[in-house]
Amino acid sequence: MRAPVLMLILIFLITLSGCSTKKSLPIEELPSNDNELHPKEVSPSSFEIEQIMKLASKGMVIDSPFNVFESSIQQVKSSWGEPEQIDEVAGGSYATYKERNTVFGFNPEGEIYDLRSYNENLRELTMEKVEHELGQPKDMRKNNQESIYVYELQNNTELKFIISSNTKRVDHISIYNPARIKTQQYVLDIKGNSNQLTDKAWRSMQNWRVQIKKFTTEHNNVYLNGPNKKMVALTFDDGPDETITPAIIDVLNDYNVKGNFFFLGSNVKLHPEVVKKAYESGHLVLSHSFNHVELTRLGKGEVEKEIKGAGEEIQSVIGKMPAILRTPYGDTNDQVVNVSKEQGYSIVLWSIDTLDWSQKDATNIVKNVVGNVRNGDIILMHSDSDKMETEKALPLIIEALEKMNYEIVDLETLLNIKAYQ
């Protein structure tokens, strides 16, 4: 019996030795860290969201040693070389390092204010998981292609999760420092053409456009356009009348879009029911002076009378005094600005002129908008009695803008100023 027992013991020891040899590795072949022993899962974990937040608090994103507080694009180029491409935008530029999954937004001085990571692991991250870990965002912006969830950090920066509308997952993240772009002015050139203008009239208009753009940069209560965001405002001068203005209100209502009506005090007096309809439909009722005269040719007392008279006429109908004025013909000077400010008004002009008062043709009106539209544009149209082509063009403009993912808003929203006093 002893021989079989000894044989069994010997077989067991040989087997054990073989298993041990199979599992053992020389010390130099051991993985260098726990991550290699336990590779990361493709799907970001709660810990990784925590890491994203930790980096964001330092102005950083994954895959990049740079930050939005101190780093410059010169430092990036010195370390990483030239980017694959640079895209120019209003107020800054964006440099793409595709192989490093990183994009840098930088201002004219080269300071980085926006850092974006396109790390492919982010695409396994759903918004539900982000909200579970971080709570509801401070702000959410949405269009047909993406949703942007914005979390505000203690250092006044923003962490943004950009969600694809197709996949419902994170496409990329951005850490954004507005302090590095706050001194930049986003002022657009005024666009719009008409084949009905003489060469002399066109040169005069071009000269005025250059001068008024410079003028707006020197006065903090005069606006040509809104901020560099995917929003625009539709504005209508010279009403109300009894046919075109009500028709335009109906179109705006049908599309659930807010409009901005710069009414003349003299016309408000003639058609108060139209003014009331515009206001009760949720559109802004604003001032275009009382008589549509060139305010820059008047004395101070006459300017005061024009502005005050229109405001009081509007107030008598809607119960509110407007706080936004559009000067007739856009004519504006220091005296007009000062009087407006004294009476509680901001002056809002335009960055796209449809020239519906010159070339009264729906095709050209639409072309002037669709062919020129940019972030923050304020679009000038008219709603007085001979603007049938404007009424005809309006649905086409709204549909085109929405197809281009522009949000159509009122001036109060676009400019973050009061519509009424």
In a domain, 173, yes or no: yes
The token pair at 228 is 């560099």
DSSP 8-state assignment for residue 383: -
CA distance 39 to 20: 24
- 170 and 211 belong to one structural domain: no
- 341 and 409 belong to one structural domain: yes
- 395 and 279 belong to one structural domain: yes
3-state class of 216 per DSSP? helix
In a domain, 380, yes or no: yes
Query: What's this model's pTM, rounded to 2 decimal places?
Result: 0.60
Q: Domain range for residue 74?
A: 46-180
The CATH code of the domain that includes 288 is 3.20.20.370
- 349 and 380 belong to one structural domain: yes
Kindly report the backbone phi and psi dihedral angles of residue 5, in degrees, each rounded to the nearest multiple of 5, phi listed first: -65, -45
In a domain, 405, yes or no: yes
CA distance 208 to 197: 15
- 342 and 281 belong to one structural domain: yes
Kindly report the backbone phi and psi dihedral angles of residue 102, in degrees, each rounded to the nearest multiple of 5, phi listed first: -135, 140
Structural domains of the chain, count: 2
In a domain, 191, yes or no: no
**Which residue type does 314 have?**
I
- 371 and 231 belong to one structural domain: yes
3-state class of 248 per DSSP? helix
Contact 353, 225 (CB under 8 A): no
CA distance 12 to 14: 6
In a domain, 186, yes or no: no
Q: Hey, which residues are catalytic here?
A: 237, 382
CA distance 351 to 225: 6
- 205 and 165 belong to one structural domain: no
Contact 161, 170 (CB under 8 A): yes
Render each residue's pLDDT in the chain as its tens digit; 421 residues.
455 544 544 444 444 444 333 333 332 233 333 333 333 333 444 548 888 999 999 999 988 999 999 999 999 999 999 999 998 765 578 999 999 999 999 988 899 999 999 999 898 888 888 888 999 898 887 766 788 899 999 888 999 999 998 888 999 999 999 888 744 578 999 999 999 999 999 999 999 999 999 999 888 789 999 999 999 999 999 999 999 999 999 999 999 999 999 999 999 999 999 999 999 999 999 999 999 999 999 999 999 999 999 999 999 999 999 999 999 999 999 999 999 999 999 999 999 999 999 999 999 999 999 999 999 999 999 999 999 999 999 999 999 999 999 999 999 999 989 999 9
- 161 and 245 belong to one structural domain: no
In a domain, 188, yes or no: no
